[in-house]
Structure 1
Amino acid sequence: MSTEQSTRQFRGPALGPHDPGYDEARTVVMGGIDPRPDLIVRVADADDVAGVIELARQAGSELAVRSGGHSGAGHSTTDGGIVLDVRDLDSFEIDVPSRTAWAGAGLTAGRYTTAAAEHGLATGFGDTGSVGLGGLTLGGGVGLLSRKYGLTIDSLLAAEVVTADGELLRVDDRSHPDLFWAIRGGGGSFGVATRFQFRLHPVDDVVGGILVLPATAEVVAGFVAAAEAAPDELTTIANVMTLPPVPFVPAEHHGSLVVMALICFAGDPGAADRALAPFVDLAPPLANLVAPMKYANIFLPEDPDYHPTAVSQTMFMKSVDLDTATTILDRLAASDATMRVTQLRVLGGAIARVAPAATAYAHRTSRIMVNVAAFYDGQDDRPAKADWVADLARAIYQGDDGAYVNFLAQDGQAGVRAAYPGQTGDRLERIKATYDPGNVFRRNQNIRPATGP
């Protein structure tokens, strides 16, 4: 295919390897991922989306769909195929009286949240402002309002999806309900979402920010216990890690093991101190930046030129007792990675009040989401860091074989089945066979079409 021929088909720009802006357009967030697509199309509307899908089908090219570019598995791009880039689908239309909004799939969580905050409203997304709504929503959406308002998909009312045959569908609980069920957690295997309709919630001021505690087994286990006992208004993300040279902690603590937690209390500000006290009382904080703020300011600053190289593994756990905490700390201390972390997210709350079969997110009853990660320095260093991650994950495994699809790496079909076990996976495969029997949308944590009844 020629870029010139392809450009004529689309309203949005189509870039080939020799076009200005190509290298910038093909760059994704994670480092160590450097494919060279034959073509990148920054689609302008649903017709462009349908045209790119048809072009990929005719050419037999692998098709990657890119929103924010945060895929840890590198699925936001492709080597030698076509990238369908939805970043310019960034519309935002809010209906304040009904507390709903239509948002383009290329809008970022930060931009949506800032726009909604002008009305004292919010939808719960992840914890990073630059993440695109497309991938985050389709995978489920675990974030800083999850314990109070559920996953992102629990606020999803409808979506517009272009299918493999180029048809634009509006899907909701009445129109194509099977597809609506699938895109609420089932990932990008079923079509290209162009717009989402979300429910908004009254969220204005929160109490949130970073709390840094020295990491001992007692502090790690105590933090998880406090998060489990906390009211639903409080969501935490605890990173047990080596402390980087951050300016808000004295230099003598840099490189030491800490719990660096991101905390968000979205309740009555007068109750915040009582909710936060169990965490602050665990140990004298090395830094306490938790303070009243607008919810739109909860996302931490990001460096757009930062492209980390890391390996990771996602899993669920039932508890973190002293023995488990000790294992985590011992393994972290023994690693020579420049950065290594075990991230602990206590779930429950509104997440667990949705029936497991109600959406394609299958892990409503899982209690703690864990992500083990290590940064590596060059490809020669990667195998050793991958082994370390796998060893630590095995050491703290407690029998829950599930995984969160948005945190999967290059885990293959084993990872897909961990994300979608049993009847959930079977149902997704049947829906896939209806809407994409040729598996056009396969550059993802792929649901393969069922081959029989």
Structure 2
Amino acid sequence: MDKENQFTSSAINPALSIPQLRSAFDGRVIGPEDADYGQARTVFMGGFDLRPAVIIRAANADDVARTISLAQETGLELAVRSGGHSAAGHSSSDGGIVLDLRDMKALDIDVAGRTAWAEAGLTAGEYTVATGAHGLATGFGDTGSVGIGGITLGGGVGYLVRKHGLTIDSLLAAEVVTAEGKLLHVDEEKHPDLFWAIRGGGGNFGVVTRFKFRLHVVDTIVGGMLLLPATPEVIAGFIAEAEAAPEEFSAIVNVMPAPPMPFVSAEYHGQLVVMALMAYAGDAEAGERAIAPLRSLATPIVDMVRRMRYPELYPPEEEGYHPTAVSRTMFIDTVDRSVAQTILEHLRSSTAAMRVAQLRVLGGAMARVPAEATAFAHRDSRIMVNVAAFYGPHDRVEQEAWVRGFAAALRQGDGGVYVNFLGNEGVERVRAAYPGSTWERLVAVKRRYDPANLFRLNQNIPPEG
């Protein structure tokens, strides 16, 4: 390492001398007195007003190791940030150290070999645009500003989930800095236990600085937004058609009030609609045939589905957007007319200006991976649901109660949850993300690589189980 990777009580005082830290790191060190501290401490989700003691914008893996050493020596809480989208606020810390990876954006694309080494500070949108220039892609989620670090470590459910599986199903290798400050190359042969754990187990085991992904040929797709009136028949019919569609088709179905977007007629603003975002990653004519039954469910309010380049699914996002919302995630087995009616009744009963029931049909390539192959164990789950309500300054408690009631009304036989959509919901909900023997295996890996639970600001898997 280029600089001394030691931080002892004699070298760094308890108040964290920012000038001393700046001399020890290659990347930026931002303290509370710096002009851009307010911006640097801000995360994507609103409602988190945390003030870290220091923010370290790592320039490389050596900086990551130095930050881990600093946290070990000072005993301060360590938050690791890729894109800053944690619904539980784990992307920052009150009084601790924030290790911000956003400046680590190197991307090495092997077009002929269809692989890419990507640093963890890249966003899904940045990665997708760069690989899309070659007609290639790795599946991430539905939001371009999400960091590839967080979404990958939790699983990754997006527009290619049925065709190419989860993000982790395209992960070939990774470089991980452990709690001891060691940089490990992990894959199926080297440290296979750690490689298994980081594919779904979150940031519990170290800081991933680089990912090696498989790239798939995904050039022109048939996709975009389809807005339909929200009736029980349309909702149930849409899910049925999505389940019956070829694996090339994946959709994210939002039942919600129509937002006042310029391309939505004013008469529909605030009315419940089915806003479907979809992609058919295959032959264009076959894609048009697969989407035709969806268009015929009702007269579309908006039809923006067309042939496009895959990166166009990640449009520019609004600057300064920091939503305040409460949510609940789960898996269910079916959406029939009765379930659709329940969805509509609960959405109508809410006082929130914006509320949503989001449905994602799974299966396909994701379901063909054995449950024990990765730490994401929900391979047989059929439909993922996320219900959410946005809250204002005075109604958070009310909206939390509504979300809990809505989720309870939708609950079926599948007790699992998707870890990337969890908020601060308690130990039992974290356990639900890792059912059966998955939890015990993760605890064993945690005990081996992070026995003191340094990496605890996450959906935590404690080393003592």
What TM-score comes out, normalization by structure 1 length?
Answer: 0.98
The answer to whether 1:400 aligns with 2:429 is: no
> Which residue does the alignment assign to 1:125?
140
Instruction: Find the partner of 1:17 among 5, 14, 32.
Output: 32
Cα displacement (A) at 1:175: 0.2
Partner deviation per Cα, 1:234-267 (whole Å, 9 max, x = no partner): 0000000011101111100111000001010111
> Which residue does the alignment assign to 2:339?
324
Instruction: Find the partner of 2:101 among 86, 95, 106.
Output: 86
Give unmatched runs, 5+ long, in structure 2: 1-15
> Which residue does the alignment assign to 1:95?
110
Cα displacement (A) at 1:159: 0.2
Where 1:187 maps in the other structure, the secondary structure is coil
Q: Report how many residues are paired.
A: 450
Equivalent runs, 1:25-424 vs 2, <5 Å: 25-378=40-393, 380-424=394-438
Rounded Cα–Cα distance in structure 2 between residues aligned with 1:110 and 1:55:
32
Rounded Cα–Cα distance in structure 2 between residues aligned with 1:89 and 1:152:
20
Rounded Cα–Cα distance in structure 2 between residues aligned with 1:390 and 1:149:
33
> Which residue does the alignment assign to 2:451?
437
What is the alpha-carbon root mean square deviation over aligned residues? 0.8
Partner deviation per Cα, 1:259-309 (whole Å, 9 max, x = no partner): 001010111001122100111111000000001110011113311211110
- Percent identity, please: 63
Partner deviation per Cα, 1:22-60 (whole Å, 9 max, x = no partner): 111111101111100000000011110011011011111
What TM-score comes out, normalization by structure 2 length?
Answer: 0.96
Partner deviation per Cα, 1:306-363 (whole Å, 9 max, x = no partner): 1110000000000011111101101101111010000000000100000000000010
Cα displacement (A) at 1:167: 0.2
| 2:71 aligned partner, one-letter code | A
Rounded Cα–Cα distance in structure 1 between residues aligned with 2:278 and 2:148:
22
Q: Which runs of 4+ in 1 moved over 4 A?
A: none
| 2:63 aligned partner, one-letter code | D
Partner deviation per Cα, 1:410-439 (whole Å, 9 max, x = no partner): 112112101111100110000000000000
Where 1:223 maps in the other structure, the secondary structure is helix
Where 2:176 maps in the other structure, the secondary structure is strand
| 2:441 aligned partner, one-letter code | R
The answer to whether 1:428 aligns with 2:442 is: yes
Task: Kindly indicate whether the alpha-carbon contact (under 8 Å) linking 2:222 and 2:288 is maintained by their aligned counterparts in 1.
Answer: no
Rounded Cα–Cα distance in structure 2 between residues aligned with 1:109 and 1:69:
13
Rounded Cα–Cα distance in structure 2 between residues aligned with 1:415 and 1:322:
28
